[in-house]
Amino acid sequence: MSSDTAGAANRDVVGAVLKACALLEHFDTARPVWSLNELTVASGMNKTTVHRLMTTLVHAGWVARTPDSGYRIAMPLFEIGSAAVSRLDIRDAAKPVLQELAATFGDTAYLMVPAESGAVCIDRVEGNNSLVVAGISIGSVIPYHAAAGPTVMLAYSPELRADWLARDLPAYTDRTVTDPTALHEHLDRVVAQGYSVSDADYLEGVAAVAAPILGQRRELVASVSIGGRRDAFDGDGLDARVDAVQAAARRLSRVAEALHDPTDT
């Protein structure tokens, strides 16, 4: 790194934030609570600085005070950290599964996770079929009432259902289900059969199959799906894809169960 680059990087660094992060690094399972004096000694910082930084973290909600005036990590920081680690771990575990699905069928395989605004594609592996599904890439946010991956997540999440079915739902093709009653019935069928099939309801000429990845309490974690040419998702071809995607979802659900073990919360 050149001196100019290093100088620019240093100007972008906020020293107080680095110090606050250094203080948070002292908290772990072996030592979840620290007093002001203990943090001052362990960090080597000025006591006034430690007090101001910890007071700021308390105000932000990242740190909480204990009855004896100590400090402990607050729940939001645990939740954010756990969610980030879980999603990274699920993505790592899903990569070979997506590769296997793409290689077997030549379709594009997807891993999606739920968000308030829609299903977020966090990974995809393209197969060797001539159709490339250009409308869905990593980072794409897809509405829950269309496409197989989003729809299967909507089916398995009561919270998402309550929110999404109260909205005005746009049609993306002439096959998109936009009527709340019809969509509710479709979602019930998805849960009953354990998978979702999309037949050109989001992208013209594209069909897909998806199954849910569930945690130990059967809470929704993500979805795994494959999408490709509509004419391949019929008869024996559809049956084979359904079986493979459901097997992949069961495999990844076992990973999700370990990551979301309720005994750890």
In the prediction, which pLDDT does 82 show?
46
97 against 131, higher pLDDT: 97
The pLDDT of residue 29 is above 80: no
Alpha helix segments (H runs only) across 25-157: 36-43, 47-60, 75-105, 148-156
Quote the pTM value.
0.66
User: Residue 87: pLDDT band by 50, 70, 90 thresholds?
Assistant: low
The pLDDT of residue 58 is above 60: yes
Average pLDDT, the chain: 85
Q: Which residue has the tokens 């000429």?
A: 205
What type of residue sits at position 58?
A: V
Alpha helix segments (H runs only) across the chain: 3-12, 15-24, 36-43, 47-60, 75-105, 148-156, 158-164, 180-193, 235-259
pLDDT digits (tens, 9 = 90+) for 123-165: 999 988 766 666 788 888 999 999 999 999 999 999 999 999 9
d(CA 25, CA 203): 47
The pLDDT of residue 247 is above 70: yes
d(CA 8, CA 259): 39
Q: DSSP class of residue 71?
A: E
pLDDT digits (tens, 9 = 90+) for 250-263: 999 988 877 654 44
Least confident of 126-140, 181-195, 208-222: 126-140
Query: Mean pLDDT, to the nearest integer, of 2-16?
Result: 52
* Bridge partner list, 223: 112, 212
Tell me which residue of 15, 16, 14, 13 sits closest to 52, measured CA to CA.
16
Query: Mean pLDDT, to the nearest integer, of 55-65?
Result: 85
